[in-house]
C-alpha cells in the first residue's frame, strides 16, 4: 500500500509541474477537466476533418481590415508529409468556403461556427485565396461588403478562442 501512495504522490507532483495541464486561476478542477476533454475532442475531430495530426501543426487566425486569414504550418520543418496534408486541407477549404460549404469547421467544432452561415449566404461578396508558406499555407479571406466582413471577423475570432491560439482578436494590417 505504501508504494501505491508514493507513486500516486509522485504522479501528482509531475502533473502539476506540466504547464500544459496547469490549472488556470479561478477555474475549478471539474471545469479544468471539462476543458481538457473539450480540447482533446476538438483535436480528434479536427484530425478527422482536416486530415492531419493537430499536435504536429500550428493554427493561426488573423483579422484584417478586409477580412482575415487562416494559417497552418507544421511544427517541425522536416515533416514533409504533414506539410503536404496541411496544404491539401487549406486548398480544399478555400474552394469549399467559396462554394458556401462549411462542413469541415462544423465537423471539427461539433457546431457551425458563428459567422459561417452569413459567410455562406454572402459568398458571392467574399474572395478566398490560397497561398503556400514555408511551413504550410494560408487562406486569405477578403471582402468589400460590410456584412460579410463582420461575419468573417466573427468566424475568425471564434477560431482564435476555440483553438486557443493566443492570436490577437484585434484587426491588423
Task: Please write the tens of the pLDDT for every residue from 106-128.
Answer: 999 899 999 999 999 999 999 99
Asked if residue 170 is part of any domain, the answer here is: no
- The residues that bridge with 73 in the sheet, in sequence order, are 58, 136
Cα 73 from Cα 172, distance rounded (Å): 20
Which positions ≥6 away from 71 have C-beta within 8 Å? 59, 60, 61, 62, 133, 136, 137, 138
What local confidence, expressed as pLDDT, does residue 11 receive?
A: 43
Domain-located, residue 32: no
Confidence of residue 21 (pLDDT cuts 50, 70, 90): low
Evaluate if residue 86 carries a pLDDT over 70.
Answer: yes
pLDDT for position 166: 95
For the chain, what is the domain count?
1
Range of the domain at 103: 38-163
Asked, for residue 11, whether it belongs to a domain, the answer is no
Cβ proximity of 139 and 128 under 8 Å: yes
Residue 69 in domain: yes
Q: What is the mean pLDDT of residues 21-42?
A: 78
Task: Please choose, from the candidates 125, 69, 65, the residue with its C-alpha nearest in 3D space to the C-alpha of residue 93.
Answer: 69
Is the pLDDT confidence value at 68 over 50? yes
Residue 5 CB partners (closer than 8 Å, separation 6+) = none
- The verdict on residue 14 lying in a domain is no
Residue 20: per-residue pLDDT: 54
In a domain, residue 128? The reply is yes
Residue 173 lies in a domain: no
Amino acid at each position: 500500500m505504501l508504494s501505491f501512495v508514493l507513486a500516486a504522490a509522485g504522479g501528482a507532483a509531475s502533473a502539476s509541474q506540466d504547464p500544459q495541464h496547469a490549472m488556470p486561476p479561478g477555474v475549478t478542477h471539474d471545469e479544468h477537466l471539462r476543458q481538457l476533454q473539450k480540447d482533446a475532442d476538438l483535436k480528434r475531430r479536427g484530425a478527422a476533418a482536416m486530415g492531419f495530426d493537430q499536435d504536429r501543426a500550428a493554427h493561426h487566425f488573423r483579422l484584417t481590415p478586409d477580412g482575415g486569414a487562416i494559417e497552418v504550418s507544421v511544427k517541425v520543418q522536416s515533416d514533409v508529409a504533414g506539410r503536404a496534408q496541411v496544404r491539401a486541407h487549406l486548398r480544399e477549404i478555400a474552394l469549399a468556403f467559396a462554394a458556401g460549404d462549411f462542413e469541415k469547421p462544423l465537423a471539427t467544432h461539433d457546431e457551425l461556427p458563428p459567422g459561417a452561415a452569413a459567410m455562406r449566404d454572402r459568398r458571392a461578396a467574399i474572395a478566398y485565396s490560397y497561398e503556400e508558406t514555408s511551413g504550410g499555407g494560408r487562406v486569405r479571406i477578403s471582402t468589400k461588403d460590410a456584412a460579410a466582413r463582420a461575419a468573417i471577423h466573427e468566424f475568425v475570432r471564434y477560431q482564435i478562442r476555440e483553438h486557443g491560439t493566443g492570436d490577437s482578436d484585434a484587426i491588423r494590417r
